Amino acid sequence: MTHTRTTPASLPTSETDLDRRSTRARTDPMSVTALGDSLYEVDTDHGTSYLVDLRSRRCSCPDHTFRGVRCKHLRRVAIEITEGRTPPPGRLAVECAVCGAELFVPEDETDRPHYCPLDRLEAGAFVRDRETGDRLLVVSVSDRRADHTAVGNSAYSVATYPNNREYDPADRVVGAVYPQSVSMTEAGPDPDALRVYSFPHSRLERVSGT
């Protein structure tokens, strides 16, 4: 069976243009980068870059500037946001501080480390120390930065402590214990035996287990 094109020849040109623009918005090779403040840079494979402002629905390309049409760049940005490949206005893409997975975060919070859902730790999580391979149990997750947190009475902060210097100084501080060191009393873990060590968050990697 042969498929023939059923589009009537009398279809208004504008409508044909619209279909074509729709298809090209989806299929043309373009890469979209969120710049913040509802601005997006769209790079085409011709080496041309256009600036799309989603809030004012403007694009710097000739199609939009001179012909006033909703060009394929504006459409592409909208498609990528809908499909979760580009952050919506007000958010920017950052990498998880532990595994590097892409995350969309509020654009005024890009100056601190972020963690993907898997790497976001909570008390009770088991983790592996990436420096020593030791298994630890998380007992606290704080909002304090590693470089603002002193280690005991020493001159070190959690960020400058030996073995921690490779990690982001803005990393959040996580308190963890060595489970094998926890001695149990009838009332539960013995608080006196519980020595809590402070780590930069991204030094600890979640592991499964109980």
Contact residues for Zn ion, defined by CB under 5 A? 50, 59, 61, 64, 71, 73, 96, 98-99, 101, 116, 119
Measured from the Cβ of residue 170, the count of other Cβ atoms closer than 10 Å reads: 16
Give min distance, CB of 73 to Zn ion, in A.
3
By beta-carbon proximity to Zn ion, the closer residue of 40 and 50 is: 50
By beta-carbon proximity to Zn ion, the closer residue of 80 and 119 is: 119
165 exposed, middle or buried (CB, 10 Å; 0-12, 13-18, 19+)? exposed
Alpha carbon distance 41, 26 (integer Å): 16
Nearest CA-CA partner of 40 in 24, 58, 23: 58
Residues 144/173, Cβ–Cβ less than 8 Å: yes
Give min distance, CB of 39 to Zn ion, in A.
13
Give min distance, CB of 120 to Zn ion, in A.
8
By beta-carbon proximity to Zn ion, the closer residue of 76 and 145 is: 76
Its sign, for the CA torsion 184, 188, 190, 196, is: positive
By beta-carbon proximity to Zn ion, the closer residue of 67 and 148 is: 67
Alpha carbon distance 105, 85 (integer Å): 13
Contacts of 68 (CB under 8 A, 6+ apart): none
Give min distance, CB of 101 to Zn ion, in A.
5
Give min distance, CB of 119 to Zn ion, in A.
4
By beta-carbon proximity to Zn ion, the closer residue of 63 and 151 is: 63
